[in-house]
Chain A
Amino acid sequence: MDVSQYLEIFLDETNEHLQNLNTQILELESDPENMDNINEIFRAAHSLKGMAGTMGYKRMQNLTHDMENVFSEVRNGNIKVTPDMIDVLFQCLDALEEYKNNIQETSDEGTNDNENLIKALNDILNGGKSEAPAAKEETPAAAATAPAAESGAAGTEKWNDIAFDDSQVRVIKEAIKQGKNVYGINVVVQESCILKAARAFLVFKAVEEKGEIIVSVPSAQDVEDEKFDRDFTLIILSDYSLDDIIKAAESVSEIAQVTGAVLELEKTRNYHEEEEASESAAEEKKEAVAEVKTAEPKKEEKKPAAAAKAPEKKPANKPVVNRTVRVDIEKLDSLMNLVSELIIAKNSLVAASSNDQGNNSAFNEQIEYLENVTTNLHESVMKVRMVPIESVVVKFPRMIRDLSKKLDKKMELYMTGEETELDRTVVDEIGDPLMHLLRNSADHGLESAEVRAQRGKPEQGSIFLDAYQDGNNVVIEVRDDGNGIDVEAVKNKAIERNLVTTEQAANMPEKDIINLLFQPGFSTSDKVTDVSGRGVGLDVVKSKIESLSGEVEVKSKWGEGSTWTIRLPLTLAIIQALMVVVGGEKYAISLGSIQTIEDISPNDIKLVENKEVINLRGTVIPLIRLTKVLDVESTRAPEDNLIVVIVKKGDKMAGLVIDELIGQQEIVIKSLGKYIKQCKFISGATILGDGEVALILDANALL
């Protein structure tokens, strides 16, 4: 079968499943008893296995198969989740990731069999078997030693030895409530049988025609793989009588013996201890059948308590299925471009209509209508391109966990706002810078356990990743309660690296010194680890974020921790802007950075350090005369009041002095092209309704 056409879907879904597994296993580590988790993991592993098998990736299939076995045993309560096991599972996920990457690049899974992992998984399986179900194995062992196993000995009520977990008990009780019969049967295969697994499979099949197998010991998978001795035990829900079931099982050839009884929950391991089981081991099968058959109605009493418990947990597991379509990002880009063109055309119409003043009110109405539609269209297209940052941050808890082990520091990552949405192109790019900051926090930020103890901090360090929307921006904060930035160390390093002179450094405010961290080739960590401290670092983070029209800031308090704040624009292509006139030229200022617009009398301007400032409601704000910045002559007389646009970047503010206000407008950002090496404070250009080009002022760069 040619499966290449499904490759993309396969990769997408593999990604999802792997991510899902990562998350779930991480949760499982903190809550090893959570059945919902285990079920979810099992499902994901199972789907992965199926997909890999279909696509013909045998190695991937083998590995997932063994993982699935482990999960299945965990699910059946035969193995307990241990930290070692979690480690192995994570290694498996890494190996699967590697397969996936290989497939992505070469459409071949590669040749790594990961035998050690498979072995580790099998060890877990075997180890688990010998521990938990030890008691269970004892009974057949004891029975097998004495008499010839062929006839009577195996006819124990092994179903009573099965340790049901909560969910199974619930299913059984539910079934009883619905009037179904619950049987336990034990099937012994003839000693001479060669294809045990095949026989067993036929028994499964025959029985499944009559009812539903809810538990199988050993698991169906193990039975299929011939990982059983000579007998296996099934718990079956059925409308048929016990005899029918037993007959169905016996109809398969080479089956030595089938014993069965109606299951009595109170007789099983969950209710009774070993004595009960061993005692019942002596009983003869036919009698048992007869006896328990009569006992059947008794079961009715048991259900109410369980029935009340059952429904409450079930709905939690069903995620709401979203109906989605996967679309190539390029198609979206071209759609976005068309929307941009439409908005420019719309702006032209608006400009044209305002020229022939109010002659035609119907025309104006239609223009307004068009404006509405284009704005909504733009918003919808933007929304289509928006994805939650979850897809990026979801891998971080795992990363922190690994770092925690590697660095031997206790730490925990707390995340909020994963659902915050950003433009797809931004989300794709933001992963690396965030990862870098988190690694920084984990490695340099958090102190060693001793230092933390001295400072009276809890041993476990905390790293926070918070994302939220703030106006037209999305803010992502990476925060830790660690060491904070050692300003002196930064200063000395900067001098050492010749980034600043000693005198310069002495006069620098703390904030500027901290900002030196963003200089290329700066790393204060004395020891280079493979986690961070390779000297390529924060400058890359900074340039990456700036290439996304964002900015990054850091605040830090020595001994208490640091906060890295990344601020990103929601959209990259179309923004709301304030149009202003400076020296007869039109400029656009992004509305996102504007706080207020003030009318200031020239008398209110004060001089501080020979710089113009105004005192606005108690805040001293420096003035920036745009005419000077842009090399133009102001069209206003010096004694006139000034129009000041107050802009804000982080906690810095400034007042931009302009000549005239035009108004708010939706603008499409166009690049000035590579030819013009744009000055820092021009972030691009836009085309106005009359076809003229206006430049976009980057208020942030002016500050």
Chain B
Amino acid sequence: MEELSMKETLKAGDERKVEEDFFQYIVIRLGEEQYGIDIRYIDNIVRMQHITRVPKVPAYLKGVINLRGEVLPVMSLRIKMGLEADELTRATRIIILKQEQQGSVGIIVDEVKEVVTLGSSAIEKLSQNTAESKKSFITGVGKHNGELISLLDLNSITLEENA
């Protein structure tokens, strides 16, 4: 805790701001866990619909959908994160993420729960320099009403695995 508060002051000093920064996250459920997605990167949330399979692509890419006349790729967050395949329920949604370089992409989530606002004091950043963080899709952990929300690193999720 002490360390965290130090970071806080450092950061506040850097940005020459006295007040805390607040970020809005959309909380989604994936299996038993809750994840947060920065709302600034979300373009749209749509119901599950027919996905046209594309052959010869990595398994996590489920295919393409038609979003108001545009063809968008959709990927399974579960498969990408190494969980078992999606179970499609009535709560399943596709979240369309805005991507600057690669165009929009959709990710399948089990459920969209709510929008939360987290102050920077409620976010614990993961240290970036450990070797395993390379494979991690989490940038940090947020605390909200006593629950922990893993904050997704969208860049590493949408990055193609072709290194």
Binding site for B on A (CB under 8 A): 341, 344, 585, 629-632, 670-679, 682, 685, 687, 691-695
Contact = CB atoms under 8 A, between A and B. Distances in A.
B52 A585 contact: yes
B69 A344 contact: yes
Interface stretch (B13-21, B55-63, B111-119, B130-138): B55-63
A672 B56 CA distance: 14
Which 8 pairs between the two chains have the least Cβ-Cβ distance? A679-B56, A693-B52, A670-B71, A675-B73, A630-B55, A673-B103, A685-B71, A675-B102
23 contacts: A341-B69, A344-B69, A585-B52, A670-B70, A673-B71, A673-B72, A673-B104, A674-B101, A674-B102, A675-B160, A676-B64, A678-B54, A679-B57, A685-B71, A687-B71, A692-B52, A692-B66, A693-B52, A693-B64, A693-B65, A693-B66, A694-B52, A695-B52
A694 B66 CA distance: 10
Contacts of A682: 54-55
A673 B55 contact: no
A632 B63 CA distance: 14
Nearest to A582: B55
B71 A693 contact: yes
Contact of A675 (B55, B70, B103): B103
B129 to A, nearest CB: 29
Contact of A629 (B55, B101, B105): B55
Contacts of B11: none
A426 B145 CA distance: 59
Interface in B131-163: 158, 160, 162
Contacts of B71: 670-673, 685, 687, 693
B90 interface: no
Given A675-B73, A687-B69, 16 more contacts: A341-B69, A344-B69, A670-B70, A670-B71, A673-B72, A673-B73, A675-B105, A675-B160, A676-B54, A678-B54, A679-B54, A679-B57, A691-B66, A693-B66, A693-B71, A695-B52
Given A691-B66, A693-B65, A585 B53 contact: yes
Q: How large is the interface on B (under 10, 10 to 19, 20 to 34, 35 or more residues)?
A: 20 to 34
A653 B57 CA distance: 27
Nearest to A685: B71
Main secondary structure of the interface of A (DSSP, over half): loop
Given A631-B56, A670-B71, A685 B64 contact: yes
Contacts of A344: 69
Contact of A672 (B64, B99, B104): B64
A625 to B, nearest CB: 13
A685 B162 CA distance: 23
Contacts of A673: 71-73, 102-105
Interface in B27-64: 50, 52-57, 61, 63-64
B95 to A, nearest CB: 15
B85 to A, nearest CB: 16
Contacts of B64: 672, 676, 685, 693, 695
Interface string B62-103: 011110011111000000000000000000000000010111
Contact of B54 (A672, A687, A691): A672
B150 to A, nearest CB: 24
B55 A676 contact: no
Contacts of B65: 693
A334 to B, nearest CB: 14
A676 B73 CA distance: 7
B43 to A, nearest CB: 14
Contacts of B56: 631, 679
A339 to B, nearest CB: 13
Nearest to A668: B69
